[in-house]
Amino acid sequence: MAKERTQVGIIGAGPAGLMLSHLLARVGIDSVVLERRSREYVEKRVRAGVLEQGTVNLMRETGVGARMDREGLVHRGIALRFEGGDHRIDFEDLTGGSTITVYGQQEVVKDLIAARLAAGQRLHFEIEDVSAHDVSSSAPKLRYTLGDESVELECDFIAGCDGFHGVSRDAIPADHLTRYEREYPFGWVGILASVAPSAEELIYSSHDRGFALLSMRSPTLTRLYVQCDRSDTIDDWPDARIWEELHLRLATDEGFELKEGPIVEKTIAWMHSVVTEPMQHGRLFLAGDAAHIVPATGAKGLNLAVHVVRVLSAALDLWYRSGSPAALAAYSETCLRRVWRAQHFSYWMTTMLHRFPTDDAFQRKLQLAQLRWVSSSRDAAASLAENYVGIVRV
Ligand code: FAD
Ligand code: DHB
């Protein structure tokens, strides 16, 4: 078995793993990133699209923001659409100047991969059978297969950034972990369509038939989501049905016109909340979807992943510079405060905007009363805006 060494072994080349390796490299800490998929696959995987101000600032400050600044779309607000009309939440006004940037997750991933490879840092795609060992000792190891070769990677620390279906969580004994979970009885069919967006800003629509969301990726690419049942499969949603539901759920009294175009990508994602506590065991640190997933309605998943790796890289930097374990010991508690704030906001947005199969007419009246309040009270709108652009108070 070949032996290699690094300071931080990172499993997963999603936003969490790549951003962590990028931040560590900037403070002179060596890391190796191990990804089971191909480079092409991770660069084409369409997922989130909304970057909080803090994520944008971090990309810029750490030298990976140039393409985002050229191609990202800065948005100053969103529309809540219900009862046939739009109600704008003006982020800039309500938060004292903060905005969001629409820039696809796979573009962030591409920029981070390019920066890492250009700097000659180790990032291996298509690795197989990664496993973490001796995580409670001071000499943890990762074993994996790359091509025909079996490798043992000696590390000082391991970061489990391998997403919800990864293996790093399993390296923690089950009796040391508590899992908090909620499954919502619906999902989103998401499409990417080759057509100019039908609106300038995102539209979150709460309709009697269910939720719909209009977003975008560029002046020629529209991203759309439509709420579907938990029991649906992608075969239940031929293109014609998706467009039909989107037209119905996005309709306004003023005659909103949704432009159709060829669908170039189509997937279903389930709305699900999971938090794993604690986010650390010995020298293994979990970050991103490996530790916490949120329902997509608040656009928090990617931003939360970036936030926790920022905390982790600062804690590792302190350890390497001064030998102090204080920040590493506080990692889980520090992150979990924000994780739960994001969980609550995502739950709040999800329950405000979707139809639940058990909802009766009374519940719908309550939901509409809440939507009217959020749209008409400055304080209520400000609470949505503050959480959406980037959580500061946890
Ligand atoms: P991931 O992006 O999942 O990255 C984990 C990486 O680890 C992957 O590259 C994976 O291939 C790799 N990996 C897994 N197992 C192993 C292994 N055993 N060995 C090596 N590598 C491994 N959020 C939003 O805000 N809005 C959205 O619209 C939205 N849509 C989503 C749609 C889908 C289908 C999914 C799954 C998530 C979506 N999210 C969305 C959430 C957001 O994309 C995630 O929160 C974000 O990707 C988290 O980043 P991460 O790096 O923690 O995990
Ligand atoms: C997008 C995804 C979200 O979950 C959201 O709340 C807003 C936008 C998007 O993919 O563009």
In the reported structure, the alpha carbon of residue 4 is separated from the centroid of ligand 2 by a whole-number distance in angstroms of 40
Ligand 1 centroid to Cα of residue 36, in Å, is: 13
Cα–Cα–Cα angle for 338, 343, 345, rounded to 5 degrees: 95
> Can you give the pLDDT at residue 392?
66
Which contacts (CB < 8 Å, 24+ apart) does range 247-250 have? 248/207, 248/209, 249/205, 249/207, 249/209, 249/210, 249/211, 249/212, 250/81, 250/203, 250/205, 250/207, 250/212, 250/214
Q: What is the number of other CB atoms lying within 10 angstroms of the CB of residue 133?
A: 13
- Spacing, Cα 289 to ligand 1 middle (Å): 6
Instruction: Report the C-alpha gap between 26 and 101 in whole angstroms.
Output: 24
Nearest Cα residue to atom 9 of ligand 2: 49
The C-alpha atoms of residue 308 and residue 336 are separated, in whole angstroms, by: 9
Q: Could you tell me if the CB of 298 is within 6 A of ligand 1?
A: no
Residue 47 has pLDDT above 70, yes or no: yes
Question: What span, in angstroms and rounded, lies between the C-alpha atoms of 310 and 368?
Answer: 38
> Quick one: tokens of 260?
């159709």
* pLDDT at position 247 over 70: yes
Q: Let me know the angle formed at the C-alpha of 303 by 302 and 307, rounded to the nearest 5 degrees.
A: 120
pLDDT tens by residue, 4-29: 999 999 999 999 999 999 999 999 99
Q: What atom in ligand 1 is closest to the CA of residue 105?
A: 43
CA distance 15 to 20: 8
Residue pLDDT, tens place only, 55-114 = 999 999 999 999 999 999 999 999 999 999 999 999 999 999 999 999 999 999 999 999
The mean pLDDT value for 311-337 works out to 98
- What average pLDDT does this structure show over 362-379? 97
* Residue 342 near residue 54, CB atoms below 8 Å: no
Q: pLDDT per residue over 178-216, tens digit each?
A: 999 999 999 999 999 999 999 999 999 999 999 999 999
* CB-side neighbour CA atoms (13 Å) of 102: 19
- What one-letter code names the amino acid at 283? R
What are the pocket residues of ligand 2 if the criterion is a CB atom closer than 6 Å to any ligand atom?
A: 48-50, 202, 215, 223, 296-297, 299
The best mutation among 184, 188, 203, 225 to test binding of ligand 2, ranked by most ligand atoms within 8 Å of the C-beta, falls on 225
Q: Which ligand is nearest to the CA of 221?
A: 2
User: Within a 10 A sphere around the Cβ of 300, how many other Cβ atoms?
Assistant: 29
Does the C-beta of 242 come closer than 6 Å to ligand 1? no
* pLDDT band at residue 394 under the 50/70/90 scheme: low
Cβ atoms within 10 Å of 314's Cβ, excluding its own: 16
Pocket test for ligand 2, best of 45, 222, 223, 224 (most atoms within 8 A of CB): 223
> For residue 120, what pLDDT is reported?
93
Q: How far apart are CA 391 and CA 345, in angstroms?
A: 9
Please state the separation of Cα 389 from the chain's center in Å: 14
Mean pLDDT for 348-352 is: 98
> What does the alpha-carbon distance between residue 335 and residue 211 come to, in Å, rounded to a whole number?
30
Which two three-digit tokens encode residue 368? 């509409």
DSSP conformation letters of 330-376: HHHHHHHHHHHHHHHHHHHHHHHHSPPTT--HHHHHHHHHHHHHHHH
Would you state the structure tokens that stand for residue 245, as one six-digit string?
A: 């539901």
Which pLDDT belongs to residue 393?
A: 63
| Amino acid of residue 295 | P
Strand ordering across the sheet containing 284-286: 123-124, 31-34, 8-11, 157-160, 284-286, 280-281
Q: Phi-psi bin for 63: left (phi > 0), alpha (psi -120 to 50), beta?
A: left
What's the helix, strand, coil split of the chain in %, to 5? 40, 30, 30
User: Averaged over 126-149, what is the pLDDT?
Assistant: 97
Structure tokens belonging to residue 326: 């204080």
Residues 219 and 312: beta-carbon distance below 8 Å: no
* pLDDT tens per residue across span 217-246: 999 999 999 999 999 999 999 999 999 999
